[in-house]
Amino acid sequence: MITKKSILVIVLFSSISLCFSQNTVSRQQAKDDIDYYSKTVLDSHYSPFLFISQKQYNTEVDKIKNKLPDQLSLKEMTLVMYQVSALLQDAHSNPGISQSFMKEDFSKPIFFPLLLVSDHEKLYSSANTGQIPAGSAILSINGQDIESLFQNMKKNIGGTSQFRDIISLKLFSYFLYLENITAPFSVKYKLPEGDIREITINEGMKFRDFLALSMPGIAKPYDFKIINHKLAYLDFRSMSGNMDDFDKFLSETFSTIRKENIKDLAIDLRNNSGGNSILGDLLLSYITDQKYSLQGSKRWKISQIYKDKLIADHNTESEYLKMENGTVWETGNCKPDFNKFKNDPVFKGKVYVLTGPFTFSSANLVADGMKQYKLAELVGEPTGEYTNDFGEAFMFTLPNSKIQMRSTSSMSFGADCNTSSYTPVVPDILIVPTLQDKINGIDKPLEYILKAVKTNKETN
């Protein structure tokens, strides 16, 4: 069973029971924590030096260590660990977002409350921002240059460039918080006409409220509507929900589609950063009865720390526990198979899948499998993850700072079984939004689908 988890689902609001009152670490304690992280990764990660040589990794880590001050706050230490883990370019390996020392702050309305858009270099207000005119370039917040901060945010996150860009926007208020930029906010911006203005935003948002804006799947993992009486639109935002609840939702959804005689279905994965891929199989059972696969094979690094994780999760029947530490265990045979879930009848109309840079982890598997086996026409932007990428993440705690880190233990290979390919899922119809599209909230990929549906109706 594939249980690949997303960067966000595992760590956003996991319960942390540590009692930890220390609010600083010394330079030596920070160095020891970095070394502990590096050793843990070396022991448990399937291929830590796939995108960087071990020599270059050690060189870059030494540079980070040499710049450490005598004392670091826990926020500073968290940022240091983002720098270290980003060297691996594994978007699943990073500090947990919810750390024990942050718990009190997360309950306060101190986080930057506005959603911004980017041209990959600068940040801009959008039509949905509200307090700042749409299209204004954000110059600084509380005196800090935002363009340089945004570029540093992206450098401190692993993964593809498109994923680093989008996750930096979605977690923008969080990274501002780590830089001690909290409410009240003095925002300097440049209007599209060129004038420079400044506004004060006295109160921010609680962190979870901001995430509900930037990642709607947290509040509502899936939704459905019929657009223009012609297109069934399934907004699949998260694969971390309850399977029985999702099955009930799907049953009701496809019952409505049959009742309304809808022949075109769009599945939107653009806000889906993953979860449990079994939900992807469940969805596909309503769409196809042919053989398919969401991944070709998987290779696991066997380590004691991951065995301890399985035992702690009461997963004592896992074959993994029988393997020798330090070895590699391969599963999967690169062959498609019938879905273990069965639904009759399946949807026989035209299926579209919307993808983008936040289509990640298990959602990326779904997009890859559907494209490989021609189960849908993919529309939008490339996904935020390679079809061959790391997974089976687990958490561990650094000994001095008590910061919770995440690493991975496996490599999943794409549905095409090409073990040497490192590319995202590229849609059949590539539509990349312009900056003005982002500012004005124009959804060109969905517009394309609606136009195609209308054309097909008129033709038939």
Decide if 303 contacts 325 (C-beta within 8 A). Answer: yes
89: left (phi over 0), alpha (psi -120 to 50) or beta: left
Q: How high is the pLDDT of residue 336?
A: 95
Are residue 50 and residue 190 in the same domain, yes or no? no
Reported confidence tier of residue 101, pLDDT bands at 50, 70, 90: very high
Q: How high is the pLDDT of residue 21?
A: 53
Answer yes or no: is 392 within a domain. no
- Last residue within a domain, chosen from 205, 236, 262: 205
Average pLDDT of the chain?
94
Are residue 277 and residue 345 in the same domain, yes or no? yes
Are residue 199 and residue 86 in the same domain, yes or no? no
| 333-384 pLDDT tens trace | 999 999 999 998 999 999 999 999 999 999 999 999 999 999 999 999 999 9
Are residue 85 and residue 142 in the same domain, yes or no? no
For residue 452 the two structure tokens come to: 């195609």
Q: Which sign, positive or negative, has the C-alpha torsion 68, 74, 75, 77?
A: positive
Answer yes or no: is 138 within a domain. yes
Are residue 336 and residue 439 in the same domain, yes or no? yes
Q: How high is the pLDDT of residue 128?
A: 82
Q: How high is the pLDDT of residue 10?
A: 40
Helix or strand or coil: residue 269? coil
pLDDT above 70: residue 197: yes
Are residue 123 and residue 44 in the same domain, yes or no? no
pLDDT above 60: residue 14: no
For residues 61 and 49, what is the distance between their CA atoms, to the nearest angstrom?
13
Cα separations in angstroms, 336 against 251, 300, 347, 373, 416: 25, 21, 20, 9, 10
Name the domain count of the chain: 3
Are residue 78 and residue 143 in the same domain, yes or no? no
Helices assigned H by DSSP within 112-265 = 146-155, 161-170, 172-178, 207-214, 243-259
Answer yes or no: is 445 within a domain. yes
Are residue 48 and residue 114 in the same domain, yes or no? no
Mean pLDDT of 25-30: 98
- Last residue within a domain, chosen from 182, 205, 228: 205
Q: How high is the pLDDT of residue 22?
A: 74
For residues 171 and 281, what is the distance between their CA atoms, to the nearest angstrom?
29
Domain of residue 114, residue span: 109-205
Q: In the chain, what percentage of residues exceed pLDDT 90?
A: 92
What does DSSP say about strands 297-301 and 404-413: parallel, antiparallel, or unpaired? antiparallel
Q: List, in order, residues 6 or more apart from 102 with CB less than 8 Å away.
A: none
Mean pLDDT of 448-453: 97
Q: Of the given ranges (14-28, 107-121, 181-195, 311-325), which has the lowest mean pLDDT?
A: 14-28
Decide if 370 contacts 376 (C-beta within 8 A). Answer: yes
| 215-270 pLDDT tens trace | 999 999 999 999 999 999 999 999 998 999 999 999 999 999 999 999 999 999 99
For residues 79 and 67, what is the distance between their CA atoms, to the nearest angstrom?
13
Reported confidence tier of residue 458, pLDDT bands at 50, 70, 90: low
Q: How high is the pLDDT of residue 456?
A: 79
| 317-327 pLDDT tens trace | 899 999 999 99
Answer yes or no: is 359 within a domain. yes
**Where does residue 190 rank: exposed (0-12), middle (13-18), buried (19+ CB within 10 A)?**
middle
Q: How high is the pLDDT of residue 459?
A: 67
Answer yes or no: is 308 within a domain. no
pLDDT above 70: residue 3: no
Return the CATH number at 234.
Answer: 3.90.226.10
pLDDT above 60: residue 1: no
pLDDT above 60: residue 182: yes
Are residue 242 and residue 351 in the same domain, yes or no? yes
Answer yes or no: is 2 within a domain. no
Answer yes or no: is 228 within a domain. yes
Q: How high is the pLDDT of residue 455?
A: 87
Are residue 76 and residue 166 in the same domain, yes or no? no
- Last residue within a domain, chosen from 71, 97, 123: 97
Q: Rounded to a whole number, what is the largest CA-CA distance in the chain? A: 73
Cα separations in angstroms, 173 against 106, 213, 232, 440: 11, 11, 34, 21
Return the CATH number at 121.
Answer: 2.30.42.10
The structure's pTM equals 0.94
For residue 78 the two structure tokens come to: 């968290």
Mean pLDDT of 15-44: 84
Are residue 247 and residue 289 in the same domain, yes or no? yes
| 201-214 pLDDT tens trace | 999 999 999 999 99
**CA angle (248, 252, 255) in 5-degree steps:** 140
Are residue 242 and residue 360 in the same domain, yes or no? yes
Mean pLDDT of 65-93: 98
For residues 401 and 23, what is the distance between their CA atoms, to the nearest angstrom?
8
Answer yes or no: is 341 within a domain. yes
Closest CA to 330 of 279, 296, 356, 304: 296
